[in-house]
């Protein structure tokens, strides 16, 4: 039976994202929001990003994906302005904002009032319930539903939906931090991965089911790596007992301040080493890697989906929980903080064996199946339909 095509579920509706990238923040928050925006756009939504003009802001990346940016200028009087208006302590990452939350809310409101979004997605460690309340109350005539993406469970929110994709996280961790009506989606099954990782998953796992080998090493320590941990890893690898035919691939962002130095260092490595920038085929590269050395951030879930054995480094305080949880589950090996890079030769000798790599791959692949973004979109469209019915 032929009928009219089914319209996308968010056809013509606006979704606004408040997220930042910078040399300090990194790129992970914006990148996972872009993944969600791609999926929402496929459902007919019109996605807009509200981002502050930090150094390392990723505006070009957002625009290249086809999304509009509403630029928030850095406030010259800094993040302390407006803080004395409130007695509550600021979030631990308040300095990431480049303004006070009061200033940020005031800057966002005109854009949001014009856009009139059905959903507002906030992925920012510097923002909490005070910013959320100021913005939503300011949009009372067209109040959007609020999705908060978090990793820390360290501050209050007034969200309708909250996502924390980290291993070991439970909805109970947010019980006292969100309204009773808030739906909490917790755990790596909700990890926001681009569709390419789900598409490459079968081939990657099938290849690893054969006899493990170590011919390709992938190094990716974030898009910025402002402390040049990549260079320190390459130094350490020169004293590791590496296979003669090992090929090393280093992935960096275009804004990485040490990119040229790392490229020069790669040319002097005793094993073939390439440096590639702003790759568009990360899933393929991961699926072909026999081992990765990477940061314990959101790319951890990409590696898990593809079953990539990993030596992890804790490059930020918020990565410690992920690294320790994956290490405890035997899904990866936690090297520790950057100061522990000099332990790589000993770790390599003791742990980089075929049986260890195979076990690590198997455990990691069972944690993430690549369907997280689809599950989240299902929740968002279900909530939107429920609101339409309630208002009908």
The CATH number assigned to the domain with range 14-193+370-386 reads: 3.40.50.11190
Domain boundaries, the chain: 14-193+370-386, 196-365
Could you give the 3-state DSSP secondary structure of residue 123?
strand
Residue with tokens 């993406």: 149
Could you give the 3-state DSSP secondary structure of residue 342?
helix
The CATH number assigned to the domain with range 196-365 reads: 3.40.50.2000
Per-residue confidence (pLDDT) for residue 294, from 0 to 100: 97
* Residue 224 DSSP one-character state: -
Could you give the 3-state DSSP secondary structure of residue 103?
helix
Q: What is the pTM of this model?
A: 0.89
Letter string b/e over residues 240-267, b meaning 16 or more CB atoms within 10 A of that residue's CB: bebeeebbbbbbbbebbebbeebbebbe
Q: Is 140 exposed, middle or buried (0-12, 13-18, 19+ CB in 10 A)?
A: exposed
CA-only gyration radius of the chain, Å: 22
User: Is residue 26 within a helix (H) or strand (E), and if so which, with residue range?
Assistant: none
pLDDT tens sequence for the chain (392 residues): 345 445 578 899 999 999 999 988 988 999 999 999 999 999 999 999 999 999 989 999 999 999 999 999 987 555 454 444 557 899 999 999 999 999 999 999 999 999 999 999 999 999 999 999 999 999 988 899 999 999 999 999 999 999 999 999 999 999 999 999 999 999 999 999 999 999 999 999 999 988 778 999 999 998 889 899 999 999 999 999 999 999 999 999 888 899 999 999 999 999 999 999 989 999 999 999 999 999 999 999 999 999 999 999 999 888 999 999 999 999 999 999 999 999 999 999 999 999 999 999 999 999 999 999 999 999 999 876 656 545 54
Closest CA to 49 of 65, 39, 253: 65
At 163, give phi and psi (nearest 5°).
-120, 125
Q: Do domains 14-193+370-386 and 196-365 have the same CATH topology?
A: yes
Closest CA to 158 of 172, 174, 171, 169: 174
Q: Are 205 and 305 in contact (CB under 8 A)?
A: no
Task: For residue 276, give every residue at least 6 positions away whose Cβ sits within 8 Å of its Cβ, in sequence order, or none.
Answer: 249, 250, 251, 252
CA–CA dist 19, 122 (Å, integer): 6
Task: For residue 261, give every residue at least 6 positions away whose Cβ sits within 8 Å of its Cβ, in sequence order, or none.
Answer: 228, 231
């Amino acid at each position: 039976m032929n009928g009219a095509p089914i319209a996308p579920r968010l056809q013509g509706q606006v979704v606004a994202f408040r997220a930042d990238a910078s040399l300090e923040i990194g790129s992970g928050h914006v990148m996972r929001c872009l993944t969600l925006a791609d999926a929402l756009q496929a459902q007919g939504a019109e996605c807009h990003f509200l981002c502050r003009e930090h150094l390392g802001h990723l505006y070009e990346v957002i625009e290249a994906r086809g999304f509009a940016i509403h630029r928030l200028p850095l406030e010259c009087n800094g993040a302390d302005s407006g803080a004395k208006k409130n007695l509550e302590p600021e979030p631990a990452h308040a300095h990431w904002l480049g303004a006070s939350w009061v200033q940020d809310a005031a800057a966002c409101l005109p854009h949001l009032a014009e856009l009139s979004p059905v959903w507002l997605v906030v992925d920012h460690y510097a923002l909490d319930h005070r910013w959320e309340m100021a913005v939503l109350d300011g949009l009372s005539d067209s109040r959007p539903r609020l999705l908060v993406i978090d990793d820390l469970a360290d501050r209050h929110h007034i969200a309708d939906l909250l996502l924390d994709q980290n291993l070991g996280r439970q909805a109970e961790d947010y019980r006292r931090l969100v309204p009773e009506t808030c739906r909490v989606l917790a755990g790596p099954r909700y990890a926001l991965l681009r569709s390419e990782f789900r598409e490459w998953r079968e081939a990657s796992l099938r290849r690893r089911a054969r006899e493990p080998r170590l011919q390709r090493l992938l190094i990716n320590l974030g898009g910025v790596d402002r402390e040049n941990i990549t260079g320190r890893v390459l130094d350490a690898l020169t004293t590791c007992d590496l296979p003669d035919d090992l090929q090393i691939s280093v992935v960096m962002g275009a804004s990485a301040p040490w990119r040229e130095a790392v490229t020069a260092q790669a040319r002097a490595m005793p094993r073939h080493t390439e440096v590639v920038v702003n790759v568009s085929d990360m899933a393929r590269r991961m699926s072909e890697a026999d081992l990765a050395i990477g940061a314990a951030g959101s790319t951890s879930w990409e590696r898990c989906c593809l079953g990539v054995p990993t030596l992890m480094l804790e490059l930020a305080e918020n990565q410690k929980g992920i690294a320790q949880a994956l290490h405890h589950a035997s899904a990866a090996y936690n090297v520790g903080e950057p100061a522990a890079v000099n332990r790589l030769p000993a770790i390599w000798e003791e742990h980089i064996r075929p049986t260890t790599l195979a076990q690590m791959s198997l455990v990691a692949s069972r944690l993430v199946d690549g369907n997280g973004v689809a599950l989240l979109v299902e929740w968002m469209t279900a909530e939107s339909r429920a609101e339409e019915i309630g208002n009908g």
